[in-house]
Structure 1
Amino acid sequence: MSTIPSPPQTDLTPLPATSPTRRRRPRAAPVRHIALPFGSLLLFLLLWQLLAASGTWSETLVPPPAKVWSAFIDVSTTHDGVRGYNGTTLIEHLGISLRRIALGAGIGIALGVAFGLVMGTVGWVRSLFEPWITFLRTLPPLAYFSLLIIWLGINEEPKITLLAVAAFPPVAVSTTTAVTAVSQSLIEAARALGGSRWDVVKDVIVPSALPETLTGIRLAVGVAYSSLVAAELVNGLPGIGGMVKDAANYNNTPVVLVGIIAIGISGLVIDGLLLRLERAVVPWRGHV
């Protein structure tokens, strides 16, 4: 009598689960991100101090960091019966200039976005205005500031207008370029689904052009900031640019450096805020 062979024995012991190797972000990266700028700042201050102590130039031209710090304290507080610089503290000078930039650059940015959308969607409008915008973009602010003073006087109007004119071209150019680069297949698909012209602009063109438009806004704010001192050349006090100009008239180099540093630091803060806004509004940028 034959026996039925039994099936081969297999080892059913489960294999040990292998966990995927997780790439841990190096902990040194955040430390390095903070240490490198801080180290470069210390190195800059050290070189500055050595240069000032070498005696190559007088303190009027290259004041030591301690003297600039003392000037910062003086223009930020009330000392010897004098409040700040010309009766206004540093933070107040900076606040007045930031208000001018917000108003002037805001007008220029709004007009730039509107013109960019129109020029990007209507061909004849682009052909009509693009050469003039390019012409305006190549002009330095001082080239037409005197004309604005003749037209508008010496009060706030020429300053605001100068900052608006300086901020307008970067936004208009970047928005126009972004709109013309929108994929035609997306536009045709929206129209095929019954979208009106306004729906195409609102739901397709604007979201597609938004990343480049925000980059243009960052550039526009930077251009407006670089035009700040020019805008406050005439009747700029109170104002941080006016403070720098007035201090330069009296060879008050420490106050000039205080104003320059204040402009630079506030510019870095504003650019960082705009960058965070860009990441929040267009989180897909750099990931698609």
Structure 2
Amino acid sequence: MTRPTPTQRARTVLPHVLLLAGLLALWTIVAVSDVVSPSYLTPSPLEVWDAFVRANSDHPIGGGVDRIVRGEENYYLWEHLLASLQRIGLGLAFAIVVGIPLGLLMGVRAIGSLLGPYVDFLRSIPPLAYIGFLVAWFGIYDTSKVWLLFLAAFPPIALATLNGVRGIREDYLDAIRTLGAGRLGTVRLVVLPATLPDILSGLRVAVGFAWTTVVAAELVNGLPGIGGLAYLSGSQNKIALSVACIIVIGLTAVALDLLIRTAERQLAGWRGKD
């Protein structure tokens, strides 16, 4: 496979650069034209950048006696992001530990017909609907947040695993059994490798759901947390900071999706090559 030439790379990158430049120009025009009133509701890209820099640095604050404050709400923006990533990581870890084995078990027809409707039921409920009773049950600290993120991530992982199990060819199973493999050997040598692409696809969906849920998870006592900071800054009319948080959330989600897609190519690149 030949590597692309610099000219080919430029032709690939140029449309993305032009589109981004156009969007920034349109954003700037909307911000300076006062289409939305009051004008502070439409911060310019430069104002959002200033808010981002301010959130990642120490800066003075007035109020009679000048003092130095640390980032926003006494945390740098990257610390807010790290706190949210830790919560999402825990929720996803529990979703993987529960969802993959359950999806494998649901590959047994009797178990799948019994448990499938309940997993579909959980999948159909918006995660925000859980937040009230999760806070009532587990309090306002991280336990309720991790539970909410688990409930957002668990159904797609379980259903993707089930879809992978149902797609396994019977002749593969017959062949490994003919060679003397038992139930655990069949699962380890055939079922798990065959379902890995679907599991990774379900993980991509689960990460997306977790990120769309992080603001809801951090509505109550969500600081430090990027979702909690986005909500708090919006409620305080710090719109530039809120937009900066939203951009960071989106870019982080794109980076995580790219990471999972890279892992999918490395671990399950054989799919489609049979």
Pairwise TM-score range, normalised by the shorter structure: over 0.9
Separation (CA, whole Å) in 2 of partners of 1:130 and 1:152? 27
Superposition map of 1:116-155 within 5 A? 116-120=103-107, 122-155=108-141
1:70 matched to 2:57? The reply is no
Aligned to 1:83: 70
Separation (CA, whole Å) in 2 of partners of 1:24 and 1:269? 24
Q: Is the 8 A contact 1:116 1:173 kept in 2?
A: yes
Aligned to 1:198: 184
Separation (CA, whole Å) in 2 of partners of 1:78 and 1:62? 25
**SS of residue paired to 1:79:** strand
Q: Is the 8 A contact 1:109 1:220 kept in 2?
A: no
Which of residues 96, 106, 109 in structure 1 aligns to 2:93? 106
Superposition map of 1:3-82 within 5 A? 27-57=6-36, 58-80=38-60, 81-82=68-69
What is the identity, as a one-letter code, of the residue corresponding to 1:167? Answer: A
TM-score of the aligned structures, taking structure 2 as reference length: 0.93
Q: Which runs of 5+ in 1 are unaligned?
A: 1-21
1:239 matched to 2:225? The reply is yes
Bigger radius of gyration among the two: 1
Extract structure 1 runs of 4+ deviating beyond 6 A: none
Separation (CA, whole Å) in 2 of partners of 1:156 and 1:24? 47
Q: Which runs of 5+ in 2 are unaligned?
A: 61-67
TM-score of the aligned structures, taking structure 1 as reference length: 0.89
Q: Is the 8 A contact 1:113 1:172 kept in 2?
A: yes
Could you list the per-position Cα deviations for residues 191-246 of structure 1 after superposition, in whole angstroms to 9, with x for gaps in the alignment?
Answer: 11111111111111111111111100111111111100000000001110010111
Aligned to 1:11: none
What is the CA-CA distance between 1:26 and the residue it aligns to? 5.9
Separation (CA, whole Å) in 2 of partners of 1:62 and 1:56? 8
Which of residues 143, 146, 151 in structure 2 aligns to 1:160? 146
CA RMSD of aligned residues (A): 1.5
What is the CA-CA distance between 1:180 and the residue it aligns to? 1.1
**1:23–1:171 distance in 2 versus 1, CA, 3 Å:** closer
**1:88–1:25 distance in 2 versus 1, CA, 3 Å:** closer
Q: Percent identity?
A: 39
Count matched residues: 266
Aligned to 2:65: none
Separation (CA, whole Å) in 1 of partners of 2:172 and 2:2? 38
